[in-house]
Every structure is written in C-alpha cells, then in structure tokens.
Amino acid sequence: MENLIVRNIEEKDIPSVVDIQIDGWKSAYKGIVDNNILNSMNRNERIEKRKNDYKQNGFIVAELNNQIVGFCRYIDSNKFTPNISNIDCELLALYVKPNLKYNGIGTKLFQFVINEFKSKNKTKMILWCLKNNEPSKKFYAKMGGKIIKERTIEIGEKEYLEVGFEYNI
C-alpha cells in the first residue's frame, strides 16, 4: 500500500466516508448489533450530519488511487471519557472498506493519529470498541492497547457493552 495517502478530510470525501461507515457497520456488527438498526442506516441523513461535523475534530481519510478507502476521527481531549482522569486524547472511529481490510490501511491511519498526538505532547489515548467485535479487538490489541474498562452504550433502543483500550503514547 505504498500509494496510500493519509490526509485531512475534504467536503467532497463525505459521501465515500459515509458509505464506508455504513458498509463497515453492516460487516463488522452483523450478529452483534440488531439487524433493524443495521438495515435502517440512512445514507442521506449521515451525509448531512457529516457536513455539519467534519471540521470539528481530527478527521482524516486514507486515499488509494484517488479513492477513499478508510477514515479516522480523533480528539485531543478526554471529552468523551472524562471519568478516566489520566486519558488526554481519544481515537473516536477507525474504518476501512471491508473488502480492503488486512492490507495495512488501518495501521497507517492508526499510526498517523498516534503521531498527531505525540506532536501535541499527549500521553494516554483511549478508544472504545464493541465487546463482541473480536476482529477489531484483535487489531487494537496488536496495536499495543490494553483493555482497562467496560461500559454500556445504547444503539437504537438496545444496550451493548464496549471495552476501552488504553495506549501509552
């Protein structure tokens, strides 16, 4: 994947990012998240939401041959995990096109984020992953994370367990 470019998102990338997210959910969460939720993901609503928030936090894309193949969102605070005091940054989302997983794209996105946090003198990162998402948990552990906490989140009207991976940066 030496032709892979990691760069900041641009507004024109939003439809591709939304497609990757929807396909990613349907692939990774099949059998984990209720099928009604997976089947009711509205592309147009998600595109509008991304148009409103794509500039708010760190938001990068992976581009290969002029095509968006993955994306990542991150924040250099503990805004979403304030109850763990030593956390000072968070990886919010990491997605790769399902048919291109295991080609190093996720690793490059992850490393880009770690380098961004290092440049801002951050020391502890957290990311949250559905507890039953074994392939993602394996990847996050391979990237050096240790599970430190569990929490319950609501998706639709159902509750799911997440695990928090902590990283020393």
Domain encompassing residue 12: 5-168
| 38 and 139 Cβ atoms separated by less than 8 Å | no
pLDDT value of residue 135? 95
Average pLDDT, rounded, for the chain:
94
pLDDT average, residue stretch 23-28: 94
- Selection from 26, 6, 145 nearest residue 70 by Cα: 6
pLDDT value of residue 1? 64
Q: Using CB atoms within 10 Å of the CB of residue 40, give its burial: 0 to 12 exposed, 13 to 18 middle, 19+ buried.
A: exposed
Residue 30: DSSP 8-state = B
* AA letter at 126: I
Residues 73/97/31/41 CA torsion (nearest 10 deg): 70
Number of separate domains in the chain: 1
Give whole-number Cα distances, 145 to 26, 27, 71, 83, 109, in Å: 25, 23, 20, 19, 15
**What CATH number does residue 117 fall under?**
3.40.630.30
Look at the block and give the residue holding tokens 């319950």. Answer: 152
pLDDT value of residue 55? 81
pLDDT average, residue stretch 48-62: 88
Element (H, E) at 93: strand 89-96
pTM above 0.75, yes or no: yes
- State percent of the chain over pLDDT 90: 85
pLDDT value of residue 166? 97
